[in-house]
């Protein structure tokens, strides 16, 4: 099927890894120093990762790709959770089972913050 999915420009990618954490589905991995979407069915094409890339290597394109598989994405997220790699709030440590998590930039880092802690991070 033709759908929207992340495209990674190899020429621009430095392999910094900043795009890995924002991808809750775990679709992006660093392989041999470059970001890769190894399992396209895990990429929902939402583009949360785009804004963290310092080199503009990430874009959304429309092309032939396997359909997004929510069950596979949930299973991958569960596996990340079991390994302690699932997103957690940078301030209180809440996981997505305990609070709504939003992707954010905080003190120069790409991270997650829950909706309870977001006002504190904004207003102090």
Residue placing its CB nearer to ligand SF4 in the complex, 35 or 117: 35
Closer CB to ligand SF4, 24 or 52, in the complex: 52
- The answer to whether residue 15 forms part of the interface with ligand SF4 (CB under 6 A) is yes
Print the binding letters for residues 21-50 with ligand SF4: x by CB under 6 A, - otherwise: --------------x---------------
Query: From CA 13, how far away is CA 38, in angstroms rounded?
Result: 15
Residue 75 and residue 49 in contact, taking contact as beta carbons nearer than 8 Å? no
> What is the Cα–Cα distance from 79 to 74, expressed in whole angstroms?
9
Q: Who's near 63: CB < 8 A, 6+ residues apart?
A: 2, 3, 5, 7
The nearer residue to ligand SF4, 21 or 76, going by C-beta atoms, is 21
Among 5, 18, 90, 101, binds ligand SF4 (CB under 6 A): 18
- Residue that has been written with the tokens 């997650």 in this structure: 112
Residues forming contacts to ligand SF4 in the complex (CB under 6 A) are: 8, 13-19, 35, 52-53, 55, 57-58
């Amino acid at each position: 099927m033709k759908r929207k999915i992340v495209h990674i420009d190899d020429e621009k990618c430095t392999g910094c890894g900043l795009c890995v954490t924002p991808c809750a589905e775990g679709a992006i991995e660093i392989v041999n120093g470059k970001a890769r979407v190894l399992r396209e069915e895990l990429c929902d094409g939402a583009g949360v990762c785009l804004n963290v890339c310092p080199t503009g290597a990430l874009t959304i394109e429309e092309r032939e790709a396997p359909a997004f598989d929510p069950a596979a994405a949930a299973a991958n997220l569960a596996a990340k959770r079991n390994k302690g790699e699932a997103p957690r709030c940078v301030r209180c440590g809440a996981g997505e089972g305990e609070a709504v998590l939003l992707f954010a930039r905080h003190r120069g880092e790409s991270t997650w913050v829950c909706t309870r802690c977001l006002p504190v991070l904004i207003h102090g």
